[in-house]
Amino acid sequence: MKLIFYGVTDVEIPFIHAWSTRTKVPVTIVRDALNRENVEMARQHDGICLYPSQEMRESPFLYRRLAEYGMKHLSIKSTGVDGVNFEWAGKYGLAVTNVPSYSPTSVGHFAVMSVLMLLRNIPDYLHSSKLTQNRQKRIGKELSEVTVGVLGTGRIGSVVAQSLKALGATVIACSRKPHSQLAAAIDYVSFEEMMEKSDIISIHIPLMKESEYLFSADAFAKMKKGAMLVNTARGKIIDTEALISALEAGDISGAALDTLEDEENYFAVGYDQNPFYQRLKTFETVIMTPHIAYYTDQAVKEITETVLDNAVEMAMGNISENLVVV
């Protein structure tokens, strides 16, 4: 048994080495993302771990070549698998697994921090180079004054809802599968009611066909005037053009965005090269971070170990519990 891991970062290497030592399974580490130039390195390996590269979104070449090398499975190092072309994967007999859960508190607490930053106008102050002169420019609000809508109450959303409730906010939630324990403490409402009543909305749903551009111009028109938005989920859940228009019109008063539309195209060249980033950074009430809500040592450890475990499980001919079915 031998694995190859593409797109490895510095922080992942110690966790890969520790896993390999513990399991006695050798892992070939490749710093670059999978591409035409390095795909041949996958020869004579039993499993592959990776984050989908831009090339995997644009061409079936890599899928075909991996199948030619005997690969049967792609172990994706993320929860979202929107970067995988499942038509091509299916055509070449490549099953796909993901990491459905890892340290939900890492993202959950980041979202709570983002809510607090918006309420206290931190983005505005961060934009200013004259902090003392702008101290009274905008007055903040306390959590006890606001209603926070949590969209999606899975592992991460439930952490957000429970944390904000404990800190004194009024919390309402909208979810396809209401959390049984949360239902006793917070009200579950329709999407429309959440949009109408929430002062801040925090997004915690996956990107699927039905959630793509869920926050459209029509949706922003239904939101409470001056409401704010937190997104630590997926960029394309928000129609960025519509968000920009809503910010310009004052319909939305602020946003904390850890993920942007089309961000996957800019990870390699620089997050600040994204045209949406360039436009959004002009708003004093918007704060953007480069998809780091998950980025803690515990979360990276759990992601790395799960990706490697998935690869071994599938290479042994078993069906991983993390198999993605589309």
Residues annotated as catalytic are 234, 263, 291
- Cβ–Cβ contacts within 10 Å for residue 214, how many? 17
Q: What secondary structure does DSSP assign to 116-148, as a single string?
A: HHHHTTHHHHHH-S-TTTTTTSS----GGG-EE
Binning the chain into helix, strand and coil, the percentages to the nearest 5 are 40, 15, 45
Is residue 206 a contact partner of residue 233, using CB atoms and an 8 Å limit? yes
Pairwise CA distance, residues 275 & 103, whole Å:
31
- Specify the residue for token string 């030592």: 21
Q: Please, how many CA atoms are within 13 Å of residue 86, restricted to the half-sphere of its CB? A: 9
Greatest Cα pair distance in the chain: 65
Is residue 268 a contact partner of residue 31, using CB atoms and an 8 Å limit? no
Question: Tokens standing for 160?
Answer: 């957000």
Name the nearest CA neighbour of 256 among 214, 217, 228, 225: 228
Pairwise CA distance, residues 13 & 268, whole Å:
19
Give one word for 112, left, alpha or beta, with left for phi > 0 and alpha for psi -120 to 50.
alpha
The secondary element (H helix, E strand) that includes residue 187 is strand 187-188
In sequence order, the 6+-apart residues with CB closer than 8 A to the CB of 128 are 134, 137, 284
Where are the alpha helices (H) located in 206-296, listed in sequence order? 217-222, 240-249, 275-280
